A and B are shown apart, each in its own frame.
Chain A
Amino acid sequence: MLNREVRQMRELFTDAGLVATRDLRIEARSRVLLNQVAPFALLVLVLFGFALDADQRTLRTFAPGLFWVTVLLAALLAVQRSASIEHADDAHTGLRLSGMAAASVFLGKAAAVFIQLMVLEVLLAIGIVVLYGSELDNPVLLAVTAVAAAVGVATTGTLYGALASGLGARDTLLPILLLPVLAPVLIGATRSFDDALGAAAVDGWAWLGLLAVFGLVATVLGALAYGAMIED
């Protein structure tokens, strides 16, 4: 019995790795993240700077919030791209017929989005240091927050991307569905970054706990619910 469960777990993660590798290979070849999503995100940072009249003190104060709003906007593009990979030529029907567990597909796609978000967050972190003059008070808290928030955004985004695709209006519907659900991530990550960047006196580690719980719940729920989302 135990051997069977171990084999199933191994198969789950092997298949997830296969899907993640495929999505990342497609991304590396199409360069949508580097050529479109990343420039868009950096542009948003610059526009926020213009909107706040390039006042360095104001920018430093609001940098955490601006950073995470930008991440969420860019994440919408990454999630839409991830969902469209499966629907471009009806490949999702092949996945359903492959016998691969839906949880594997979910974990693989979420992992690929997570890696892309991490790349994006590194670029944006450099962006707020250069453009807004932010300083790293607590790099460990900053890094762990970035990872925890990316897990929440990637898993929730992958699930809602599949849901919106199933409803047949993914490009327009996804932001309306996804952004309200990601509000806790925005709040928690911003507060945690407030601490990590020295922008406000808050306990960033406590907010990190919220992000960790959100990420865990989103991963488990996503793995359980994804199968229903990709069925007709």
Chain B
Amino acid sequence: MSVVELRGAVALLGRFPALAGIDLSVEAGQTVLVQGPNGAGKTTLLRLCAGLLRPTAGEVVVLGHDLTAERRAVRRRVALLGHSTGLYGDLTVAENISFWARAAGLSGADSESRASAAAELMGLDRRLLSRTVNVLSAGQRRRTSIAALAVRRPELWLLDEPHAGLDQAGRNAVDSLISEAVGAGATVLVSSHELERVRSLSPRVVTVAAGMVVADSSSRASGTERDVEQGGAPDA
């Protein structure tokens, strides 16, 4: 069963076609690495799948919902890790994680237990939990942000450069998170420039350039992929 199905999807940012007719199908439980040069459309692809953007043309079906008409239906079932942390600087780490758990509809007891588990998974110790986010390092904020998403136990993870700004322990924690999520039946799309690291988690690599899928390891179109990795594709 396809969790993500894009057919000729076009997304405009202003007048600029960030996605120019993209085709992609991702099955449940898959981990897919989305790679490509800067400006290729990776982030836009993830935001489109999260229901944050409306497709200008084409068809986008996520978790069984057509996003042209039902964007809000998928949102609670999706987690998007973007470039920003999405945290409240004047709240503590624990308060942030707890807020996002409650915002996702979890009850008090559930939210507390899941918040503890997520914090532990991301290596956020008790000392850090009581600190306000404003005083944390960038890496600690990133960990907190990922933990705040993990409490929701989404069916579809959309991770945009999840290892960015993290130390080795943090990177390992992200890898564990992805493995655990897939083990629990979730689907993961990861956009990353850390190709070797993510490839060890993801047997499938999709290459995007100029808003199009130019290579997909599942369809053995690897000739173009090599060109793109070497910088041959235009920077959209």
Is B146's CB within 8 Å of the partner chain A? no
Contact of B76 among A22, A93, A98 (CB under 8 A): A98
A91 cross-chain contacts in B, Cβ below 8 A: 86-88
Inter-chain CB contacts under 8 Å: number? 69
The residues in B between 7 and 63 inclusive whose CB is less than 8 angstroms from any CB of A are 50-53
Q: Nearest-CB distance from A50 to chain B (Å)?
A: 35
Contact of B86 among A25, A26, A94, A232 (CB under 8 A): A94
With contacts A18-B103, A25-B95, A29-B132 taken as known, whether A93 is within 8 angstroms of B52 at the C-beta atoms is: yes
B91–A93 CB distance below 8 A: no
Most buried by A among B79, B100, B148: B100
The residues in A between 16 and 34 inclusive whose CB is less than 8 angstroms from any CB of B are 18, 22, 25-26, 29-30
With contacts A29-B132, A88-B89, A89-B87 taken as known, whether A96 is within 8 angstroms of B52 at the C-beta atoms is: yes
State the CA gap A100–B75 with chains docked (Å).
9
Is A224's CB within 8 Å of the partner chain B? no
B50–A97 CB distance below 8 A: yes
Contact with A along B54-94 (1 / 0, CB 8 A): 00000000000000000010011011101011111111000
Contact with A along B80-120 (1 / 0, CB 8 A): 10101111111100010001101111000000000000000
A99–B52 CB distance below 8 A: no
A88 cross-chain contacts in B, Cβ below 8 A: 88-89
Is A15's CB within 8 Å of the partner chain B? yes
The residue in chain B whose Cβ has the minimal distance to the Cβ of A94 is: B86
With contacts A26-B91, A85-B88 taken as known, whether A90 is within 8 angstroms of B82 at the C-beta atoms is: yes
- SS class, residues of chain A in contact with chain B: helix
Is A95's CB within 8 Å of the partner chain B? yes
Q: Nearest-CB distance from B129 to chain A (Å)?
A: 16
State the CA gap A25–B99 with chains docked (Å).
12
Q: Nearest-CB distance from A177 to chain B (Å)?
A: 23
A18 cross-chain contacts in B, Cβ below 8 A: 99, 102-103
A97–B102 CB distance below 8 A: no
Contact with B along A69-104 (1 / 0, CB 8 A): 000000000000000010011110111111110000
A93–B95 CB distance below 8 A: no
B132 cross-chain contacts in A, Cβ below 8 A: 29
With contacts A89-B85, A94-B86 taken as known, whether A99 is within 8 angstroms of B104 at the C-beta atoms is: yes
State the CA gap A51–B209 with chains docked (Å).
64
A97–B52 CB distance below 8 A: yes
B75–A99 CB distance below 8 A: yes
A89–B84 CB distance below 8 A: yes
A26 cross-chain contacts in B, Cβ below 8 A: 88, 90-91
Q: Nearest-CB distance from B154 to chain A (Å)?
A: 9
B90–A232 CB distance below 8 A: no
State the CA gap A88–B51 with chains docked (Å).
22
B52–A89 CB distance below 8 A: no
B72–A99 CB distance below 8 A: yes
The residue in chain A whose Cβ has the minimal distance to the Cβ of B79 is: A97
Most buried by B among A88, A94, A98, A99: A94
State the CA gap A19–B95 with chains docked (Å).
12
B103–A98 CB distance below 8 A: yes
A93–B89 CB distance below 8 A: no
Q: Nearest-CB distance from B234 to chain A (Å)?
A: 26
The residue in chain B whose Cβ has the minimal distance to the Cβ of A11 is: B105
A98 cross-chain contacts in B, Cβ below 8 A: 75-76, 100, 103-104
Contact of B75 among A11, A15, A29, A96 (CB under 8 A): A96
B84 cross-chain contacts in A, Cβ below 8 A: 89-90, 93
B86–A89 CB distance below 8 A: yes
With contacts A18-B102, A29-B132, A232-B52 taken as known, whether A99 is within 8 angstroms of B88 at the C-beta atoms is: no
State the CA gap A89–B83 with chains docked (Å).
10
5 contacts between A and B (CB under 8 A): A25-B95, A26-B90, A88-B88, A89-B89, A100-B105
Point out residues on A near B: beta carbons under 8 Å: 11, 15, 18, 22, 25-26, 29-30, 85, 88-91, 93-100, 232
Lowest 10 A-B CB distances belong to which pairs? A99-B76, A90-B84, A94-B86, A98-B103, A26-B90, A29-B90, A97-B75, A30-B90, A91-B86, A89-B84
10 more A-B residue pairs beyond the given contacts A26-B90, A97-B78, A97-B80, with a C-beta to C-beta distance below 8 A: A89-B86, A90-B82, A91-B86, A93-B86, A94-B103, A94-B148, A96-B52, A97-B51, A98-B76, A98-B103
